[in-house]
Structure 1
Amino acid sequence: MKVVKFGGSSLADGEHFAQAINIITADPQRRVIVTSAPGKRNSKDTKVTDLLIQYANEVLNNKPYQQTVGQIINCYVEIANYFNVPPKKLAPIIDRLKELPSWHFPNHNYLMATFKAHGERSNAELMSLILQQQGYEARFVTPTEAGIRVTGTPNNATVMPETYSLLDHFSFNDSELLVFPGFYGITLAGHIATFSRGGSDITGAILARGLHATMYENFTDVDAIYAANPAVVDHPQAITKMTYREMRELSYAGFSVFHDEALIPAIQGNIPINVKNTQHPEKPGTLIVPDKGFQPADIVTGVVSGKHFAALYLHKYLLNKESGFTLRILNILARHDISYEHMPSGIDDITLILDRNQLDDELVDVICNEIQEEINPDQLEWIDNYAITMVVGEGMRNRTGVINDILTPLTEENIPVPMINQGASRISIMIGTYDRDADKAVRAIYHRFFAN
C-alpha cells in the first residue's frame, strides 16, 4: 500500500484535481490520500490557508469577514463545479466554513489553528465527494476517526506516540480509497491543533508509518529535489536518490520541497519517500531512503544556504578555565525562550548561531545587555547579516580533502569564511558566511563538485 500526499499547488483548481485523481487511480497500491489546502490558482491569487488566517484575524478583531469567507468558499465551489458536484452535496462544507466564528475555543490560538485546518479538511472532504461521484469507493477520514493525537501548542503540534497504536487498530477494506486532511491532529481535550506550516507532509508520514505503507509518495510542483536551489544555480542536477539524514541536513538550511519534520515518522517506520511532480508523474522524482546499504553516486549530494541566521560572538581571556560560563549564557537565552543553532568555540571565545526569525531588535538588545552584565566578556559582538551554507553528501564520509575542495573555490571568489564546522556524522560541512556572499558561495561550491 502507498500513501499519496498532494501539495497545495497540486490541488489549486479543478484541472489540478483531475490530474491528482488520474495519479491516484493509475496505481491500485495508492490507497491513502492526504490533501493540502488549495494553493494559488494564478500569480495574483491568495492561498486558501492565508485567506483562512485572514478570516480568523477578522473574527478576532471584530471586523467584517464576509468577503474573505466568500473568497474561500468560491475556491471550493469552482472545483466542485468543474466536476459537476451537486450543490446539495457541497453544502455541508460551505456551511461548516460559515459557522466557524460561532464555535467555542479555549483561546485565540486554538481558534487560529481550527480556522487554518479547515483548508485541508474542506479539500479532503471535497476530494472524497468527487471520487465517489466518479464511481470509486472513497471515504473521508478525519484525524479524530483515525486517532491522530497531538500535543504541544495549538499552532505547532507534535504527534503523540499513541497515535501509532490507534492507527494499528484503524479498520478499512482493501477496496477503499481513504482521504485524510493533512496539517492537523486532535488534542486529548478534543481540540484541533496544527503542525507547523507545510505540515501536510507530516500527516502523510504519520499515516505511512501508522498504516505500514510500503511507500510514501509526495506529489508537488517540481520534478525532483535538486542539488542546489534553481533560483541560485542555473539548471542544477536533480538528486535521484538520497538518504533520510542527507535530506534532514539540507532541509535545515533551506531545502523547502519536503518538510524536515516529516522525515521523523518515515525514519521510525523505515518508509521510503518518493518526491514527484504532479504534472509529470511519469518522471522518477527523488527517492529518500534509509542510509543502511546506501551507495552514494557523488561525493556531494547537495549545497544549500540559509540567510535567516545571526551570530553572537563573545571573547574573554581564560574562558576555558571558567566553570559554568557556557551554562550562564544558555540560561539567559532560556529565560527568553530562545534556542541556539550552533556553538563553535575556542579557548578564549565562543560564537552562538541563532535563528534570526526568533528575535526582534528589542530582544537582541535585551539579551546582549544581560550577557554583558552577567558574563562581562572582553568583547561582545552581534553579527546580524549571517548565513549558513550546508554541503551535504554520504560520499563525503570516507573521502579525504573534501574541506579543501570546498574552501578552494571560496578563496578564489574572495568569500570570507568566519566559521566552519563538520558534523559528527561526517556527511555534512557547515560554512558560515555573510549573507551578501551566500548565493555566490553556493554557486562556487556547486560548480566545484557538479560542473563536470
Structure 2
Amino acid sequence: MKVTKFGGSSLASATQLCKVLDIIKADYERRFVVVSAPGKRTAEDTKVTDALIKYYQNYKAGNDVTADQEWIIERYRAIIEELSLGSAILDKIAKAIKDLATLPIDNNRFLYDTFLAAGEDNNAKLIAEFFSQNDVPAQYIHPKEAGIIVSSEPGNARILPSSYDKLENLREYNDVLVIPGFFGVTVDDEICTFSRGGSDITGSIVAAGVKADLYENFTDVNGIFAAHPGVIDNPHSIPELTYKEMRELAYAGFSVLHDEALIPAYRGKVPLVIKNTNNPDHPGTKIVIEHTGKDIPVIGIAGDDHFVSINMSKYLMNREVGFGRKVLQILEDLNIRFEHMPTGIDDMSIVLRDRELTPIKEQEIITQLTRKLEVDHIDIQHDLSIIMIVGENMKSQVGVMSTATKALSDNHINLTMISQGSSEVSIMFVINSEDEKKAVRALYDAFFK
C-alpha cells in the first residue's frame, strides 16, 4: 500500500496529468494520491496559489475581484477541456472559486488559509474526475472526511494526535482516494493550512495514518543530489539516505522536501522515496530509518547563508553557575531563537539566523550581556554561512574531519568555527558567506571526486 504525492509542477497542465495517470495505473498499490495546486507551466507562468493570494488581497481591500476569479477558473478550464472531462466538474470548481468572495472578512482568522487551500482542494476534485473517466476508480475526499484534524494556528497548523485513528479507516476504501494537500480542518470546522510547501506534510501524515508501506513524493527532479546542482555541475544523486541525514541536509538548504514532512513518516516508520514525474523509471532517492546499502561516510554537502554569530568571552566563565542559562534567558525574553552554541572554557558563541535580529534587539543584547553578565568582550559577526557535511557513517570512519579541513585550507577558506553534534551525523563549518560556494565545491571534490 502506497501513498503518492504529486507537487505543483507535476500537475501544471493536461500533459502532466496524463503522466500522473500513467504512474497511478502502473502500480495498483498506489491507493492514496495527495495533490498540490497546479504549478507553473513555464518559467514566466503564475502558480494557482499565487493567483489565489492576489485574489485574497483584492477581496480584502474591497477591490473588484472578477478578473482574479476568471483567471483562476480559466486555468482549470484549460486543463478540463484538454482532457475532455465535461462541464460538470468545471461548474463545480467555478462555483467554489466564486464562493470565496462571499466569506466574511472581519474577525475571520482563517480567511487567508481558506483562499490558499482552494488551489489544492479544487485540483483534487479535477484529478479524481480525470482518474474516474480513465479506468481508475477514484474518489475525492476532503481533509475533514479523511480525518486530518489540525490545531487552530493559521498558516502553521499541526496535526492533532487523535487524527491518526480516523485516518487508519481510509484503508477500508476500495477506490483510489484523491486528497488535497496543504491543509486540514480544525475542531471548529475552519480551514487551516500547514506552513508553505505543506502538501508534503499532508502526504506524510496520510502515509503514517494508513500505515503505508511506502510514501512516494513525486516532483520534477531525479531525487536528491549530493550537492546543489546550482553550485556543482552535474552532482551525483543519492540512492539512499536516512531520515536523520535528510533532516540535516534540509536544514542546511536542501529544499526538495519540506523538512516538517519528515516528522509523521519518520515516527510512523514509513520509508519515503523522492521520484521524478517526468522520469518515473528512475529509482530516485529513498529515505529510510537505517541504511541498507554500503557504508559511505559522507552522503551530502549543503550550504546555507544569512547567519549571525554573537561572540562573547569572560574570564572564568566555566566557574560561573548558570551563565549559559542567563544568556539564553536574554534571548528568550527578546523572542529570539538560536541555532547553535559552540563553547570554550571562557568563550561562548550563539549562532542564529539573521532574520531573528533587528538593530534594536542587537543593541539590547549587547547592553544586557555587558551589564547583567559583565562579559569582558562581545562582538556580533554578520554575513556568515553554514556548510554541513552529512553522513551517519562518518563516526565509524577515520579522517573525515582531516579531509574536510585540508580541502578548505587548500582553497584558502578561513573557518570561523567548527561544531559536531553528539550523534555525529554531521559536521558544521561556519565561514564567511562570500566563500560559501567555493567551500561547497572544495568539499565535494574532496569526498566525491
Same fold (TM over 0.5): yes
Partner amino acid for 2:251? Y
2:422 corresponds in structure 1 to 424
Change (3 A) 1:373 1:13: farther
Q: Could you tell me how far apart the structure 2 residues matched to 1:232 and 1:7 are?
A: 24
Partner amino acid for 1:294? T
Q: Could you tell me how far apart the structure 1 residues matched to 2:51 and 2:8 are?
A: 13
Q: Could you tell me how far apart the structure 1 residues matched to 2:365 and 2:108 are?
A: 29
Per mean C-alpha deviation after superposition, the further-off stretch among 335-344 and 426-435 is: 335-344
Alignment partner of 1:321 is 2:319: yes
2:206 corresponds in structure 1 to 207
Unmatched segments (≥5 aa) in structure 2: none
Change (3 A) 1:108 1:411: farther
Question: Would you say the 8 A contact 1:296–1:395 is kept in 2?
Answer: no
Deviation at 1:87, TM superposition (A): 2.2
Question: Would you say the 8 A contact 1:310–1:382 is kept in 2?
Answer: yes
Question: Would you say the 8 A contact 1:241–1:287 is kept in 2?
Answer: yes
Deviation at 1:367, TM superposition (A): 4.1
Q: Could you tell me how far apart the structure 2 residues matched to 1:230 and 1:361 are?
A: 35
Per mean C-alpha deviation after superposition, the further-off stretch among 116-125 and 132-141 is: 132-141
SS at match of 1:282: coil
Partner amino acid for 1:282? D
Alignment partner of 1:181 is 2:176: no
Question: Would you say the 8 A contact 2:171–2:210 is kept in 1?
Answer: no
User: How far does the alpha carbon of each residue in 1:91-119 deviate from its partner, in whole angstroms, 9 at most, with x for none?
Assistant: 12111111113223684542111111111
Q: Could you tell me how far apart the structure 1 residues matched to 2:334 and 2:82 are?
A: 51
SS at match of 2:45: coil
Question: Would you say the 8 A contact 1:109–1:155 is kept in 2?
Answer: no
Q: Could you tell me how far apart the structure 1 residues matched to 2:105 and 2:14 are?
A: 33
Residues 301-312 of structure 1 mapped to structure 2, 5 A cutoff: 301-312=299-310
Q: Could you tell me how far apart the structure 1 residues matched to 2:28 and 2:371 are?
A: 66
Per mean C-alpha deviation after superposition, the further-off stretch among 158-167 and 360-369 is: 360-369
Q: Could you tell me how far apart the structure 2 residues matched to 1:349 and 1:398 are?
A: 30
User: How far does the alpha carbon of each residue in 1:275-301 deviate from its partner, in whole angstroms, 9 at most, with x for none?
Assistant: 00000001111111111x634442210
Deviation at 1:366, TM superposition (A): 4.3
Per mean C-alpha deviation after superposition, the further-off stretch among 442-451 and 393-402 is: 393-402
2:344 corresponds in structure 1 to 346
Deviation at 1:237, TM superposition (A): 1.1
SS at match of 2:315: coil
2:21 corresponds in structure 1 to 21
User: How far does the alpha carbon of each residue in 1:38-67 deviate from its partner, in whole angstroms, 9 at most, with x for none?
Assistant: 111111112122222222222233333332
Alignment partner of 1:434 is 2:432: yes
1:70 corresponds in structure 2 to 70
Question: Would you say the 8 A contact 2:25–2:136 is kept in 1?
Answer: no
SS at match of 1:44: coil
User: How far does the alpha carbon of each residue in 1:2-52 deviate from its partner, in whole angstroms, 9 at most, with x for none?
Assistant: 111001111111111111111111111111100011111111112122222
Q: Could you tell me how far apart the structure 2 residues matched to 1:368 and 1:117 are?
A: 43
Q: TM-score, normalised by structure 2?
A: 0.95
2:392 corresponds in structure 1 to 394
Question: Would you say the 8 A contact 1:69–1:98 is kept in 2?
Answer: yes
Question: Would you say the 8 A contact 1:332–1:370 is kept in 2?
Answer: yes
Deviation at 1:430, TM superposition (A): 0.8
User: How far does the alpha carbon of each residue in 1:165-209 deviate from its partner, in whole angstroms, 9 at most, with x for none?
Assistant: 1112346433x1100001111112221111111111111111111
Question: Would you say the 8 A contact 2:114–2:192 is kept in 1?
Answer: yes
Q: TM-score, normalised by structure 1?
A: 0.95
User: How far does the alpha carbon of each residue in 1:347-400 deviate from its partner, in whole angstroms, 9 at most, with x for none?
Assistant: 222111112234444444444444444334322222220111110012212011
SS at match of 2:3: strand
User: How far does the alpha carbon of each residue in 1:57-85 deviate from its partner, in whole angstroms, 9 at most, with x for none?
Assistant: 22233333332332222221111111112
Q: Could you tell me how far apart the structure 2 residues matched to 1:215 and 1:151 are?
A: 26
1:81 corresponds in structure 2 to 81
Q: Could you tell me how far apart the structure 2 residues matched to 1:311 and 1:101 are?
A: 47
Partner amino acid for 1:7? G
SS at match of 1:310: strand
Q: Could you tell me how far apart the structure 2 residues matched to 1:401 and 1:199 are?
A: 39
Residues 186-201 of structure 1 mapped to structure 2, 5 A cutoff: 186-201=185-200
State the identity as a percent. 42
Change (3 A) 1:157 1:381: same
1:135 corresponds in structure 2 to 135
User: How far does the alpha carbon of each residue in 1:254-284 deviate from its partner, in whole angstroms, 9 at most, with x for none?
Assistant: 1111111111111111111110000000111
1:55 corresponds in structure 2 to 55
- Calculate the aligned-residue CA RMSD, in Å: 1.8
Alignment partner of 1:404 is 2:433: no
SS at match of 1:343: coil
2:376 corresponds in structure 1 to 378
2:355 corresponds in structure 1 to 357
Deviation at 1:215, TM superposition (A): 0.8
User: Equivalent of 1:337, from 331, 335, 346?
Assistant: 335
Change (3 A) 1:388 1:108: farther
Q: Could you tell me how far apart the structure 1 residues matched to 2:19 and 2:374 are?
A: 62
Partner amino acid for 2:282? K
Change (3 A) 1:253 1:2: same
SS at match of 2:69: helix
Unmatched segments (≥5 aa) in structure 1: none
Question: Would you say the 8 A contact 2:310–2:350 is kept in 1?
Answer: yes
